[in-house]
Structure 1
Amino acid sequence: MLQTVSDWLWWERLWLPANISWSDLEDTEGRVYAKASQLYAVLPSALCLLFIRYLFERYVATPLGNVWGIRDRVRLKAERNPLLENYFCNQARTPSQLLTSPSERAVCGKADVRALCKKTTWSERRIQVWFKRRRNQERAGLRKRFCEASWRCVFYSFAFVYGVLALYDKPWLYNLKEVWAGFPKQSMLPSQYWYYLLEMGFYLSLLFSLTFDVKRKDFKEQVIHHFATLTLLGFSWISNYIRIGTLVMAVHDSADILLEGAKVLNYAKWHHTANTLFVVFTVLFTLTRLVIFPFWLIHCTWVYPVEEFAPFFGYYFFNVMLVVLLTLHLYWAFLIARMVYKLIFTKVCSQLEGDDRSDEEEDDSDSLKDRNHKLSHINGSGARGRANGH
């Protein structure tokens, strides 16, 4: 049975064009081809990158954050209340009546805040503050966000520079038809091997670290993106789509450098520089992800191959995965456009507020207002008493 599954999985028509077999891709006459067994090296690569990330965040990013004065905000802990804690953990993080819009209430359910008030003998205002503080307790601090953004900025910078060095003298960088010249009998270069190993190890390490990284609103989209990227790279490796794979990686890394750099500068309170960098990132993101990626690279994988060989399963599968990535790019482009709109047209937003995907920390604005009101009332009463006594 296992042999049958293996035969089906490695059926040549799934991975290779017609009239091409695995025996045609054996190392001969100085040619070296990519092999599926080499993908086992991705796991140690991911673990190694996780270890390097730990060292970087502890011994580089954290001291740098100290120099720039990046500190976590002081958080007030939620009062101990088993009833509200049970509601928070098992039903909803936000009672529906504490939300402002009908759509938010519909998402969170028909929670009855008045019932919570009766059970706890607390006021609605006090319950609202409790839920804000309790949500803040589960959010990552500013220093953690800074360290993560710094690591990703450094990695993307290194990967992009390596990709440029690996591609700058290759003919398929300047003429995309060269991507398919002699396909699939294209010898694998050492630079391509290490580029793939680096990128696949990084995205696998991101999957491993999703559970303890900063939680973002697009968590599901991130999981889909990482799985799609790893599937795409793994399939392109086995099917010898390596040339187009390296081009896709280089195009994606270029804009990510600016995004993570803008976050780092924003956390360091270099707001004007961060805003400028974010605008440049928006332009580059649009150019690379919404222009070059679909109209050059997907066009290259959709149109040019059929000039060289008849379409096969891998041809369709590879293009579908590229379209999945493009769909995610369109979703993120919407979020970016919304942030740019806030940055340019909203007076309140005079600085970049952060990643719209992040689960931002909330202010205890109501409780602070109440406390300030009480303090001012006490001070006013004291002053009047002293004046009357005088």
Structure 2
Amino acid sequence: MRMSSFLDKWLWHHEYWLPPGITWKDMEDSDHDRYPRPRDLFISIPYAFVFIAVRYLFERLIALPLSKQMGVKEKPRKRASPKPTLEKVYTSQSTCPKENELLALSKHCDLSVQELKVWFRHRRNQDRPSISQKFCEASWRFAFYLLAFVAGLCVLLDKPWFWDQKECWKGYPQQVLLPSQYWYYMIELAFYWSLLFRVSWDVKRKCAKMLNYAGWRRSCDVLFAVFAVVFLITRLIIFPNVVIYTTFYHSMEIFQPFFGYYFFNILLMVLQLLHIFWAYLILRMVAKFIFLGKIDKDERSDDEESDGTEDEEDERMETKFASSNHNGVLNNMTNGMKGKSNERNKLPKAR
């Protein structure tokens, strides 16, 4: 009760979140009508753990068998040899030691710096998620977003404010909360709570990468083209001209500006700036697709190191060393032959 009164006094004070002249007492539920309240944000937290449990079952019983059906294959990885000293450094100090640290370890472990670099690369490679894990993560998000999109259409299509945004502000904020709207927002909020609770373990992959992991390149390219068109239309045209416009201008026909008005509109503008940045990256990818005929990587996310990168680097390095040694032997033989030839040339010629 003390915590609730503290939050009501400082965080959820009606002057912050409600228009002038409206208090939370005006938003009390009646026998037939329900109004949104701040406590609803906390009711969604227990449902987040339900989502985590459902996700676990989905990935094990649906996503993993689906990955095998779609031809997702794991790439072989070289495992780092057991070395307790290096393992301790890896887990407690640094997964990618600097040059001076490698030199100290080299003296302590009686290994060359190059051998240490190879060991740490293989050890980092072991910790990276497998392709099956990436596929399961992407398929879970794809399944939820698809169902949420369909449910959102079912909830909104018959509502007047979906077609005329001025209807959003009639009677605001004393608007009856329909059960369909309540559960739609609770499910969405619980889903994002579950992502927040698992942020340290999630693989963080896009849903479209399911096709990439399965090797369906043509389908992946087609899906990217559809995504680019939908993103550019919805985020650069519909979002600013419909959503932001109605929150900035239509709302002012109902009430005077207050803290919540500025707070949420600033967040919407920050989101729009992010949309513009992401659109720039997508257009760069489109240009590469048009002129090069392929998409190398998703520029909206961080660079991802493929499973075979370390091994390929090791093979190139070994080949380089072998080639260098081979060339050195050839050079020595050639220099030796040249030396003998020069010695013969220096001898007096017979008449």
Same fold (TM over 0.5): yes
* Amino acid in structure 2 at the alignment position of 1:58: R
Alignment counterpart, residue 224 of structure 2, candidates 247, 264, 278: 278
1:67 is aligned to: 69
Deviation string, structure 1 residues 128-178 (Cα, Å, up to 9, x no partner): 322321221111110000001001001000000000111112121122121
2:212 is aligned to: 266
Determine helix, strand or coil for the equivalent of 1:320. Answer: helix
Tell me how many residue pairs correspond in the alignment: 319
The answer to whether residue 151 in structure 2 is matched with residue 206 in structure 1 is no
Counterpart Cα distance in 1 of 2:67 and 2:300: 19
The answer to whether residue 302 in structure 2 is matched with residue 313 in structure 1 is no
Deviation string, structure 1 residues 197-255 (Cα, Å, up to 9, x no partner): 11001100100111111168xxxxxxxxxxxxxxxxxxxxxxxxxxxxxxxxxxxxxxx
1:128 is aligned to: 117
1:363 is aligned to: 310
In structure 2, the gaps of 5 or more residues are 324-351
Taking a change above 3 Å as real, the CA distance of residues 67 and 371 of structure 1, as seen in their structure-2 partners, is: farther
Alignment counterpart, residue 52 of structure 1, candidates 38, 46, 54: 54
Higher deviation after alignment, 263-272 or 77-86: 77-86
Normalised by the size of structure 2, how large is the TM-score? 0.79
2:233 is aligned to: 287
Q: Give the Å deviation of 1:365.
A: 1.2
Counterpart Cα distance in 2 of 1:152 and 1:350: 22
The answer to whether residue 11 in structure 2 is matched with residue 35 in structure 1 is no
2:157 is aligned to: 168
Counterpart Cα distance in 2 of 1:339 and 1:112: 39
Contact 2:79/2:123 (8 A) holds in 1:
yes
* Amino acid in structure 1 at the alignment position of 2:214: A
Contact 1:215/1:359 (8 A) holds in 2:
no
Q: Give the Å deviation of 1:190.
A: 1.4
1:82-121 map, 5 Å: 82-95=84-97, 111=100, 113-121=102-110
Counterpart Cα distance in 2 of 1:159 and 1:326: 22
Counterpart Cα distance in 1 of 2:66 and 2:26: 53
- Sequence identity of aligned pairs in percent? 43
Higher deviation after alignment, 3-12 or 154-163: 3-12
In structure 1, the gaps of 5 or more residues are 98-110, 217-258, 377-390
Contact 1:271/1:352 (8 A) holds in 2:
no
Alignment counterpart, residue 188 of structure 1, candidates 177, 180, 187: 177
Contact 1:265/1:271 (8 A) holds in 2:
yes
